[in-house]
Structure 1
């Protein structure tokens, strides 16, 4: 699959053994992906890559940018052969977050994510990347106590991929007080624990532009690592 949502590339040891996700390549891919998203809006995407695409240093998406963006602007789910994408669906009664829309079966018997993976057929060496502009919120998508719109139980769909061929990536940590003044944000420790819940199904990364030595650079960080200190974990930078 080509499309929207992050693709991520893998680095190989001699002999073809997968070591880990190449985070520099992943950072470049995120920049490529952003050409297809909606500027200033929240969205989620997922993409499946062939084995060859997983091992390339550079990948360009051969996609119709206007078609994808028009679909998202219309509050519809984009469902390509190798890419799916969605924005939050807001109604007078409820809001379905973008990640949930891709993972949920809703009124159908199969979710967009299941359809995507089934089309791919679990061919050897394929990679899958699930991207969201924001980390899944603790109020709804990733709370410790579950709930109707919690995405954690829906992530079993990724079991067919080993940890070196799948990734969940976000750009910014969700800040509840941004849209709801007066709300007390969850602690950094609670947010870090929320990353761990996702990481139980697929490795979590944060990819964004960070300021280093007075210069802005594209970087990706593994969120659940040996560094369990919420005050210094790179994925919580700026929160």
Structure 2
């Protein structure tokens, strides 16, 4: 009996009191449940800045994609100033690269930006695909290697990912987006577009395909109708009409 009691005391020594276990569980759930709300006004300021300072000069409404790593407050606080982390000089350099048909892979001193236009080679590669592939060694992978959980990664495509090529084809960007989110499980991740690809405006399945993107990463639209405004495209499994209007 003495031996059994001694062994029981030794066993209990390795068991946390139930109150401690409860606290640990709550702390764990609290950490896991942390969510950062994107401030759409802050996002609108960022996209307006891209429009004014990064849009290639080749012609109006030319397609390009850019991804940037910034401190969280650039995505959560309306009063933040994108120029503190992406100066007009750096933006001009990225714009010149794009205008000349060149790809930017961490091409600024702060190494927080990647950008590309669609390729002219056949078969043409769309700008979003250029930044997200090849998996494991893409420009996006290189950008993510510089990020941490205290940052926000914004992927912006001037024109929405086209349904036939970017979402429904075997060469779609969904695996690239999954790779991005799998690599970067912490911090804020945002996918934004501005204009709808003109051939997709009347597609009945556009809602479903936008939902496929939002299932992987929070999906937003920013559009200028007088002033730049942004909205999340999917809420409670419903697509926001703002994201579907021409």
Note whether the superposition's TM-score is higher than 0.5. Answer: yes
Change in Cα spacing, 1:64 to 1:175, as seen in structure 2 (3 Å) is same
2:114 paired with 1:84: yes
Superposed CA RMSD in Å reads 2.3
Alignment partner, residue 49 of structure 1? 70
Alignment partner, residue 8 of structure 2? none
CA contact (8 A) 1:152 1:198 kept: yes
CA contact (8 A) 2:163 2:209 kept: yes
What are the Cα deviations for residues 116-150 of structure 1, in whole angstroms up to 9, with x where unaligned?
Answer: 10122xx232110000011100121111xx31x31
What are the Cα deviations for residues 10-68 of structure 1, in whole angstroms up to 9, with x where unaligned?
Answer: xxxxxxx6541111111111111221221521100000112454454222222423321
Matches of 2:201 and 2:90, distance apart in 1:
39
Change in Cα spacing, 1:233 to 1:227, as seen in structure 2 (3 Å) is farther
Change in Cα spacing, 1:38 to 1:130, as seen in structure 2 (3 Å) is same
CA contact (8 A) 1:163 1:203 kept: no
> Deviation of residue 166 (structure 1)?
1.0
Alignment partner, residue 37 of structure 1? 55
Alignment counterpart, residue 137 of structure 1, candidates 162, 168, 180: 162
Alignment partner, residue 150 of structure 2? 125
Greater shift, 162-171 or 109-118, is seen at: 162-171
Alignment partner, residue 201 of structure 1? 216
CA contact (8 A) 1:127 1:161 kept: no
Q: TM-score scaled to structure 1, two decimals? A: 0.75
2:133 paired with 1:104: yes
Q: Which protein is richer in helix relative to its size?
A: 2
Alignment partner, residue 21 of structure 1? 38
Matches of 2:227 and 2:93, distance apart in 1:
30
Matches of 2:69 and 2:36, distance apart in 1:
19
2:100 paired with 1:71: no
Matches of 1:23 and 1:164, distance apart in 2:
17
| More contact order relative to length (CA 8 Å, sep ≥ 6) | 1
Count of matched residue positions in the alignment of Structure 1 and Structure 2:
199
Matches of 2:123 and 2:194, distance apart in 1:
25
Alignment counterpart, residue 227 of structure 2, candidates 214, 217, 232: 217
Larger radius of gyration: 2
Matches of 1:53 and 1:169, distance apart in 2:
15
Matches of 1:88 and 1:236, distance apart in 2:
23
Matches of 1:220 and 1:116, distance apart in 2:
24
Matches of 1:23 and 1:168, distance apart in 2:
13
CA contact (8 A) 2:115 2:131 kept: yes
Gapped runs of 5+ residues in structure 2?
Answer: 1-33
